[in-house]
Amino acid sequence: MHRNVIYRDGSDKGDQMIPYTTFQSENPEDLWKWMANWEDKTGGSLLAIPHNGNLSNGRMFELKTFTGGPLTKEWAEARIRWEPLVEAIQTKGQSESHPSLSPTDEFAVGYELWDIGNLALVRKQPGMIEQEYAREALKNGLKLEAELGVNPFKFGLASGSDAHTGLAAMEEDNYFCKFVSCEPRPERWSEDAIKFGERSMKGWQVVAAGYTGVWATENTREALWDAMKRKETYSTSGSRMLVRFFGGFDFVSADADSRTPAEVGYGKGVPMGGDLHKAPEGKSPTFLVAALKDPFGGNLDRIQIIKGWVDKDGNTQEKIFDVVWGDADKRRPGADGKLPAVGNTVDVANAVWTNTIGDPELITVWTDPEFDPALRAFYYARVLEIPTPRWTAYDAKRFGVKMADNVPMVTQERAFTSPIWYTP
């Protein structure tokens, strides 16, 4: 596994030192030391984004150091200092959640999982999965904060294409894949994407993902870097939907009527990536969340807020809340509290769909109904589109090929915001 190092500055500073690589060391602590030396020498700024947690075989969010030692406050401070963001999804699968860790999460089941092994397809062993996925790490980070005084996993979320071609064509209907060898052609779905010995991942398992949304003050390198550093980012599976997420203690339902939710959000609270501290007496955290569909994509199915916390016994917990959804005049949660599926308009044979279900825009104010002011917690939003054709459906139509029955033809694009943390 490796990290992508992002420079705030230009080549005038970047050229002053040769970049550090995994050929020199695979220990991230050595990379962090190099980054500190680079900043000291150049006066510039760096951050690193860990890549492909789902293929790390338990190394991404280990509860020990790279060399097997115990975690310390100094280690935790270094990790979150240099790695404020984590990649949630890219072309080799998603690293946000896993059904074995979140068995009640219906949208984690079967969604773009690459979980048989690492990049060399060395098979996973028991206990590895829980140290590979962002949601579990966010929960473990709360426990570590109680033990160490610092949360090393207090990261925001990002995405990337992982393309090695320089092409940013990650749309389902215009997917140019990771390598030149898997660019569009009739056979790419059935060929080996990765192969080691007898084990392989097939071309159809590669994911048309993803993009990072960055809320910067202006479209400059420096402003984009600053927004990434403060974790005001969100991760998408390839959709260009717009998502806002703010937390505070004073939002009211009428704030959802605003046509300028960002103005309200910054005025009353903190944005994604921010912190809430000791709740005022009698108040619970409230969240203003809004999403606008991709202009060329599917309507929105729902917005969920995912909460993680450490209970009074020191155990990590999570819960998913449906907070606002499309077709609200027709859909209501059932007696079990579960929201019915939005439906599916995809015509797989022709790789088309209709936006006759869902909504183009969703916004609401939500208050945590189970808030305990004494417990550490985090909250982040997940936005789901209605079902639309997957890149495999477009390829099947475009090239006139019949794919195997186990090849998924429909997807639900999604976005994950960086969390907002509550600390008593």
Q: Identify whether the C-beta of residue 387 lies closer than 8 Å to the C-beta of residue 346.
A: yes
Look at residue 16 and give its three-state secondary structure. Answer: coil
The residues spanned by each domain of the chain are 2-205, 241-423
Give the number of C-alpha atoms closer than 13 A to the C-alpha of residue 82, restricted to the C-beta side: 22
Q: Identify whether the C-beta of residue 48 lies closer than 8 Å to the C-beta of residue 20.
A: no
Tally of CB atoms within 10 A around 151: 23
User: Which residues in 172-197 are b (16+ Cβ under 10 Å) and which e?
Assistant: bbebbbbeeebeeeeebbeeebbeee
CA angle (412 as vertex; 207, 326 as ends), nearest 5: 160
Look at residue 254 and give its three-state secondary structure. Answer: helix
pLDDT at 110 (0 to 100) = 86
Structure tokens at 378: 């985090």
Tally of CB atoms within 10 A around 322: 17
* pLDDT, tens digit, 9 for 90 and up, residues 2-17: 899 999 999 999 999 9
pLDDT at 54 (0 to 100) = 85
pLDDT at 121 (0 to 100) = 66
pLDDT at 169 (0 to 100) = 81
pLDDT at 181 (0 to 100) = 86
pLDDT at 119 (0 to 100) = 66
Closest by CA position to 307, among listed 214, 378, 232: 378
* pLDDT, tens digit, 9 for 90 and up, residues 170-179: 899 999 998 8
Give CA–CA dist 153/141, Å, rounded. Answer: 5
Sequence-distant (6+) residues with CB within 8 A of 2 are 22, 51
pLDDT at 56 (0 to 100) = 86
pLDDT at 170 (0 to 100) = 83
Q: Identify whether the C-beta of residue 119 lies closer than 8 Å to the C-beta of residue 52.
A: yes
Give CA–CA dist 25/34, Å, rounded. Answer: 11
Tally of CB atoms within 10 A around 378: 25
Closest by CA position to 238, among listed 112, 133, 324: 112
Low-confidence ranges of the chain (pLDDT < 70): 119-121
Q: Identify whether the C-beta of residue 1 lies closer than 8 Å to the C-beta of residue 28.
A: no
pLDDT at 194 (0 to 100) = 81
